[in-house]
Every structure is written in structure tokens, then in C-alpha cells.
Amino acid sequence: MLEGIALLLLFGYIAAKLVGLLRLPGLLGMLIVGVLFGPYVFGLLDGELLAVSQDWRAFALIVILIRAGLGLKRDQLKQVGGIAVRISSIPCLLEGFTVTMAAYFILGFNFAEAGMLGFVLAAVSPAVVVPSMLDLKEDGYGDDKQIPTLLLAGTSIDDVFAITLFTFFLGLGTAGDTNIALELAKIPLSIGGGVLGGGLVALLLLGLFKWRGFAPKHTEQLLLVLALAILYFEFGEWIGVASLLGVMTLGFILLERQPTIANHFSEKLAGVWVFAQIILFTLVGAEVNISVALEAGLLGIVIIICGLLGRSLGVWLATIGTNFNTKERLFCMIAYLPKATVQAAIGSLPLAAGVETGGVILAIAVLSIIITAPIGAIGIKWSAPRLLNKGNS
């Protein structure tokens, strides 16, 4: 397994640098290395590494979401509060149900199967969007209207809607007795539980930092932050709350209560992210089965495009009544295109559950990663300087 990690780190780093010379996001190079080294092309990664791939990817996501929380300020969240609720729900729901209808009429899926596909595709990728937004915050793009902050806040909640409704349709297709009202009621409970849990973990950490008999150093404090964030993430996944949102909340409260320590953590985590991002994107790439994606064919591309059109319309509707101009609203549409982590994580579940069309659902999920992750990452990097105002970094 160590050899596989070394290969991913070395070649992922080199590929990111080469892609960067073309003025493209480095994550594209990492994804390509993952695809090539993965089990579906050259098979250079051993089974032990692939077996724990999900855990490695989860760790990298936790790192970047803590960093995201450490970059959120109360006044910024107040500025985007109402818009964040709309942009985290309307685009996801419109994309999900657009794909559901397209799969029902174009692919001939039954309602449950169509819904599974709809909400597999409906989740935006925090792995792509969050680091991209942090880069924009550092460069000052969109700071005047807190657009990166808005998209940071909206991404995790967007995934809650997508995963909850996917779970409903999966239950409908396999058990047949799922209660839609109950599943929908779980969404605010999941969001609220995730935020509350993250806040409690943050308060526990602050108490440990102030305990005179303990008094850990900054590096030791960061170790505790990461350890408790990982444990909370696992526990939150088990009880069904929005644990990723809770991890971001943890970072936000640390910044609120101890800004000096929080800024130190942010600097340290930026160094950890150099390592973690290569692991994240190469292992996401290793999940991509090109031959499965090709099975989706032209109809799969049509379904994905239908969904993206629905999502883009949802973003446009969610930003009505804001002070965003046309260029800024267009940027939000572009930033909400990429898919990767959620599709890699849940795309195979219908097939594993014995759903008849599970293979097609997986193929289209994989195809969505191949198409939208590069387009979204390139689109964010290319469009930000052209569509957003640049303030102070």
C-alpha cells in the first residue's frame, strides 16, 4: 500500500505542475493520474489501498472543510444567509427532478429508478468547489458580495438534500414502503443536527485548550481538532446528520472564539492540504471506470446535460432578488457544475442493492464525473477573473 501512496503523491504532484503550466487547475492532472493508475487502466494500485480509498478521501474532505470553516466570518454568513438556503436547495431539487423526468421518459426507468439516478447526479462536489472557493477568497475574487462564502456554505447543504432524496428513492425501489414525508422531514433535522454536533465538538475543544492542567501546544491542538473532527464525521454519518456541515461549523466556531489560534490552524492545514488534495483527487480518479462510463453512451450525456440545465436554472432562480449582477449569477452557475465525490461514493449503491438498472445508473454517475469535474474546475478558474470583482485578499 505504501508504494501506491508514494506513486500517487509523486506522479499526482508532477501531473498537477504540468497541468498548471497550461493554466489549468492542478486537480485535473491528479484525476488523470488516478484514472491511469487505478484498477480499470494500468492497475498499479494494490487492493489494500483501494479498500481504504473511501477513508483517505474522507480525511482529505475533513481537512478542506475545517479550512473552509476557519475562513468563514459571522458578518459574511449574515450577508449570504438567506441566499445560501435558496442556493443549497433549489438547484439540487431542480436538477434531481429534471434528471428523474428525463430518465423516466428517455431511458424508460420506473419512478424509483429514475429518482435514484436523479439524486445521484444532483449533488455538487465539495471536493472541487470548496478548495476552488478558498483559492478565490485568498485572491479576493467576489469578496465584495461574499460569493465564495455563499458557495462554500451552500455546497455541503446541497449534498444533504441530494443524499437524503437518493436514500428515499433507493428505499422506494428496494423496500417499497419508504415514507416520503418522513424522509423530507429528515433534511432540516440532518442539517440542524450536523451544525449542533459540530458546535458541541468545537466547544469541547475550546475547553481542552483552556484547561490549565493540560495546556497543549498549537500543533497538539491541531492534532486534537483533526482527531475529534474525524470521530464526529464517522459518528455523524452513522446517526444520519450532516456531518460535513458540522465539520465546517467546528472551524467557524473556533474562528469566532479563538481567532489567533484559528488563523494558526488555517496556516498549518494549508500545508496538510498539499498532501491531502493529491490523495483525494487521485483516489477519486481511481474510482472512475472508463469502460463503464462509455456504456452510458450518448443518452447518458443527454441526461447529464438535462440535469445541468435544470441546476443552472435553479441557481438563476435562487439568486433572483439579490444584488448579484448578471456576470456574478453566471459565475455561480458555472461554480455549481462539478461532480465527483458523492457520485463516486453512492453511484454503485443501486447496483449493489440489486436494482435492475443499477449498472446504467453507475455508468451515468461515472460519466458525470468525467464530464463535469474538469469542466467545472476549468470553468471556475477561467471565469472568476472575468466575471467577479476583485477586492482585497
- Here the cell at position 292 is 463503464
What is d(CA 234, CA 50) in angstroms, rounded to the nearest whole number?
19
How does DSSP classify residue 38?
Answer: S
Q: What is the pLDDT of residue 180?
A: 66
Closest by alpha carbon to 82, among 153, 134, 5? 153
95 found inside a domain: yes
What is d(CA 385, CA 57) in angstroms, rounded to the nearest whole number?
30
Q: What is the pLDDT of residue 393?
A: 47
**36: domain range?**
2-387
What is d(CA 272, CA 126) in angstroms, rounded to the nearest whole number?
17
Number of domains in the chain: 1
Q: What is the pLDDT of residue 151?
A: 93
282 found inside a domain: yes
Residue with cell 477573473: 385
Q: What is the pLDDT of residue 351?
A: 85
Residue with cell 456574478: 328
Whole-model pTM: value is 0.83
- Here the cell at position 113 is 429508478
Residue with cell 477561467: 382
- Here the cell at position 54 is 473511501
Coil, strand, or helix at residue 340? coil
Q: Distances in Å between the alpha carbon of 160 and those of 167, 212, 245? A: 11, 39, 9
What is d(CA 96, CA 121) in angstroms, rounded to the nearest whole number?
7
- Here the cell at position 248 is 465546517
Maximum pairwise Cα distance, the chain: 66
293 found inside a domain: yes
Contact in structure between 88 and 154 (CB atoms under 8 Å) = yes
Contact in structure between 254 and 69 (CB atoms under 8 Å) = yes
217 found inside a domain: yes
Q: What is the pLDDT of residue 177?
A: 58
What is d(CA 109, CA 115) in angstroms, rounded to the nearest whole number?
9
Closest by alpha carbon to 96, among 383, 371, 368? 368
- Here the cell at position 253 is 466556531
393 found inside a domain: no
392 found inside a domain: no
> Residue 192: which CATH number?
1.20.1530.20
Contact in structure between 360 and 292 (CB atoms under 8 Å) = no
Residue ranges of the chain with per-residue pLDDT less than 70:
175-180, 183, 212-213, 215, 392-393
